[in-house]
Amino acid sequence: MPPAFRFRLLATDGAARCGEISTPHGAVATPAFMPVGTQATVKGLLPEAIRLAGADILLGNTYHLMLRPGAERVAALGGLHKFMNWPHAILTDSGGFQVMSLAALRKVEEHAVIFRSHLDGTLVELSPERSIEIQTLLGADIAMQLDECVRLPAPAADLERAMRLSLRWAERSRRAFEAAPAGRALFGIVQGGDDPELRLASASALVDTGFHGYAIGGLAVGESPAVMRATIEAVAPALPVDRPRYLMGVGTPADLVEAVARGIDMFDCVLPTRNGRHGLAFTRRGPVVLKNARHAEDPRPLDEESPCAAARDYSRAYLHHLVKAGEMLGAILLTTINLAYYQELMRAARAAVVAGQFEAFRAQTVGLWEQGDIPPR
């Protein structure tokens, strides 16, 4: 019997938390950052490199995987862990967010969302029940309810309609999930946009239904950092302390630190991977754009104090050359460096919470970012 899903809160410091999630595919130290493995691969990285960068858990995209190669095919091949050779934990999203952002002709009905595949135009119906079925076929350790995510700013009526629909879908997801193998987890998703009252109504109803964990959806969709932080501050206290809290699709290193400070335990975001492919490195000293001419003759590594070998073993001049030449290795090294930086940030946040030093960690981290890149000697 593999271990069942379980969350243990190990320490708190103010609102910041340090914990551990058990899953059928191993433990996840929280706060945790989940690299995004959209099409059953974190773009450009071997599974062992993702693990070496410090990840305990990946995110898989239901929307992409249901369209290609298909959930039934992945299941026949032994599930997503085996398919992509990643033996550690996997969380899958519900598919809802990507339907909204990628698919054509999408139509949200009470029963389901109906859309055309961005790959071949096929008409597809995704209901809460089908989303859970797909995520179960993929073998996700943590599944997400189907929800409707509204881009901000949006009229209050739209936010409330989507929030109420998401709650009805949460109930249906919860029932559908009863057929899933034991030990796996289902998270509900708090919606309600930038309206604190809608958010609290959503959180309260979800907690009544009961989930293994709770996500905050519908952020990082156009609102200001201040709105994001205020929304987290409103929602987090309404969630049970003994369940993990996942802020979906967020964010920059600063977003992560501020969200941890407000009680968030889990994150996913394409920023470190997508920006890595486009020549931007996240470092202790803030973002560094490797394409800039100032790096062309710079023999120094990106950060000689980094725990990541890719940040130590290659000169800025070489990274600059690879980015300018459009070489895959540039994307590979910078994706590795960025994921390792995000993981290091989470590791340091966990250690700070355990030591009761979170405020000092936050001040020091932000202070280093504000200093900017290490100047050439």
The residues assigned a catalytic role are: 93, 268
Site size toward its own copies (CB under 8 A) is 34
* Helix or strand holding residue 16 (H, E): strand 16-23
Angle, alpha carbons 336-27-341 (nearest 5°): 25
Task: List the one residue from 222, 299, 372, 376 that touches its own copies (CB under 8 A).
Answer: 299
Q: In what order do the strands lie in the sheet with 113-116?
A: 104-108, 113-116, 123-126
Burial of residue 269 (CB within 10 Å: 0-12, 13-18, 19+) is: buried
Burial of residue 131 (CB within 10 Å: 0-12, 13-18, 19+) is: buried
What string of DSSP letters covers 138-153? HT-SEEE------PSS
Residues numbered 132-151 forming contacts with its own copies, rule: CB under 8 A? none
- Please report how close the Cβ of residue 49 comes to its own copies at its closest, in angstroms: 8
Count of all residues that appear for the chain in the document = 377
Q: Is 332 in the site for its own copies (CB under 8 A)?
A: yes
- The strand pairing partners of 288, in sequence order, are 281
Six token digits for residue 1: 């019997």
| Cα dihedral sign, 111-113-115-119 | negative
Of 36-44, 176-184, 213-221, 354-362: span binding its own copies (CB under 8 A): 36-44
Give the per-residue contact string, 72-91, with its own copies (x = CB under 8 A; - = no): -x--xxx----xxx------
Q: Is 376 in the site for its own copies (CB under 8 A)?
A: no
- Please report how close the Cβ of residue 7 comes to its own copies at its closest, in angstroms: 31
Q: Is 193 in the site for its own copies (CB under 8 A)?
A: no
How many CB atoms lie under 10 A from the CB of residue 327? 12
Which of 167, 223, 237 has its CA nearest to residue 195? 223
Task: List the one residue from 109, 125, 197, 297 that touches its own copies (CB under 8 A).
Answer: 297
Six token digits for residue 132: 């859970």
Closer Cβ to its own copies, 157 or 325, answer by number = 325
**Is the link from the previous residue into 272 a cis peptide, with omega within 30 of 0?**
no
Closer Cβ to its own copies, 47 or 249, answer by number = 47
Q: Is 241 in the site for its own copies (CB under 8 A)?
A: no
- Please report how close the Cβ of residue 230 comes to its own copies at its closest, in angstroms: 38
- Please report how close the Cβ of residue 377 comes to its own copies at its closest, in angstroms: 15
Q: Is 318 in the site for its own copies (CB under 8 A)?
A: yes
Task: List the one residue from 296, 355, 363, 368 that touches its own copies (CB under 8 A).
Answer: 296
User: Does residue 222 sit in helix, strand or coil?
Assistant: coil
Task: List the one residue from 11, 20, 27, 43 that touches its own copies (CB under 8 A).
Answer: 43
For its own copies, the binding residues (CB under 8 A) are 39-41, 43-46, 68-69, 73, 76-78, 83-85, 296-297, 299, 313-315, 317-318, 321-322, 324-325, 327-329, 331-333
